[in-house]
Amino acid sequence: AHLVNLLPLVDVLLARERLRLGDLDGIAVTAGPGLIGALLVGLSTGKALAMAHDLPLVGVHHIEGHILANALTEDMVLPAVVLVVSGGHTELIHMPAVGTYERLGATLDDAAGEAFDKTAKLLGLPYPGGPHIDRLAAQGRPGIFAFPRPLLHDKRLAFSFSGLKTAVRTAVDGLPRPLDEQTVADVSREVQEAIVDTLTAKLFAAARRTHVRAVYLAGGVAANGGLRDRVAAEAERRGLHFRPPERVYCTDNAAMIAYAGYCHFLAGKRDSLALDSFPRGPVTSWR
């Protein structure tokens, strides 16, 4: 699908914006991490366009794109701690400046987004499950279920969601079938509360240790209403700046990659056509 659709999509975009490739200042392209097949198609296309039109090329780390999606909403207040949270990543990044990243902690097993999606599957909800859990949580009753908050009181800036997934599976497997709507909402509420409790506690523990001015969210789970509301309330209580990214920029999108590439262009960074893709690798060691 990537191979068939990518170049026609470029043509549609240029026509919509009334641009030609020669009007561009450069080509920004995701180098990794991610699924290697999709990365190779995108990178090969970016290289071909750069070479054919004599444009500079710059590779972008996918996670840096998510982090800098916040800059599409406002000028970021730095230094900051960013909670990157998605289906494949859950980590805390100290960001003193654009392009400078230090990983403070990460999940020891599963990502928070995976816990949302696995819960949704157990409850018979469509994929991706996070938005459905978020919507149903508002209808759930408090105190009906009690799920663990792994590592909540651990001093490490680490996360663990495998135990939560197991607890949810055990609870759901013991429920009578078919599951009624209220039960699904009750489970959704407690799962969301458990995940948000943990994410928020670790985010502000990291902010306290690093003495930053702001906190940010990044990644697909940054669209979760419960998480956004909790972080906003806690940031206000602590006197820290917080503004969530627009939801359209939380999931994977080209705008965040373009902006990250733009920042690298301004810093004078360029890549050769020998730039390679990579399926794994932390944003802290990129460049």
Q: Does residue 193 form part of some domain?
A: yes
Same domain? For 157 and 208 the reply is yes
Q: Does residue 109 form part of some domain?
A: yes
Q: Which residues fall within 8 angstroms of residue 196, CB to CB, at 6 or more apart? A: 224, 226, 227, 230
Range of the domain at 14: 2-65+250-285
Same domain? For 272 and 232 the reply is no
Mean pLDDT, residues 161-173 = 97
Q: Within a 10 A sphere around the Cβ of 73, how many other Cβ atoms?
A: 13
Alpha-carbon dihedral of residues 176, 181, 186, 187, nearest 10 degrees?
A: 60
Same domain? For 127 and 227 the reply is yes
Q: What percent of the chain has pLDDT over 70?
A: 99
Please tell me whether the peptide bond between 245 and the residue prior to it is cis, using omega within 30 degrees of 0: no
Model pLDDT for residues 87-101, shown as the tens digit of each residue: 889 999 999 999 999
What does the alpha-carbon distance between residue 1 and residue 264 come to, in Å, rounded to a whole number? 29
Same domain? For 24 and 88 the reply is no
Q: Does residue 70 form part of some domain?
A: no
What does the alpha-carbon distance between residue 69 and residue 51 come to, in Å, rounded to a whole number? 27
User: Which among 55, 47, 57, 58 is positioned nearest to 20, based on CA atoms?
Assistant: 55
pLDDT at 108: 97
Model pLDDT for residues 126-144, shown as the tens digit of each residue: 999 999 999 999 999 999 9
Query: Mean pLDDT for the chain?
Result: 96
Q: Does residue 71 form part of some domain?
A: no
Q: Which residues fall within 8 angstroms of residue 286, CB to CB, at 6 or more apart? A: 61, 64
What does the alpha-carbon distance between residue 66 and residue 64 come to, in Å, rounded to a whole number? 5
Same domain? For 100 and 236 the reply is yes
pLDDT at 286 over 80: no
Same domain? For 236 and 130 the reply is yes
Instruction: Kindly report the CATH number assigned to the domain that includes residue 265.
Output: 3.30.420.40
pLDDT at 154 over 80: yes
Same domain? For 117 and 181 the reply is yes
pLDDT at 3: 77
- Residue 26, CB-side half-sphere exposure with 13 Å CA sphere: 22
Same domain? For 56 and 106 the reply is no
Cα-to-chain-centroid distance, residue 278: 18
Same domain? For 277 and 139 the reply is no
Q: Does residue 90 form part of some domain?
A: yes
User: Which among 59, 55, 57, 51 is positioned nearest to 22, based on CA atoms?
Assistant: 55
**In what helix (H) or strand (E) does residue 11 lie, and over which residues does it extend?**
helix 2-17
Model pLDDT for residues 255-278, shown as the tens digit of each residue: 999 999 999 999 999 999 999 999
Same domain? For 152 and 281 the reply is no
Mean pLDDT, residues 177-195 = 97
As given in the structure block, the two tokens for residue 55 are 């444009």
Total domains present in the chain: 2
What does the alpha-carbon distance between residue 210 and residue 245 come to, in Å, rounded to a whole number? 22
Same domain? For 195 and 107 the reply is yes
Same domain? For 33 and 134 the reply is no
- In contact, 60 and 28? CB cutoff 8 Å: yes
Q: Within a 10 A sphere around the Cβ of 280, how many other Cβ atoms?
A: 8
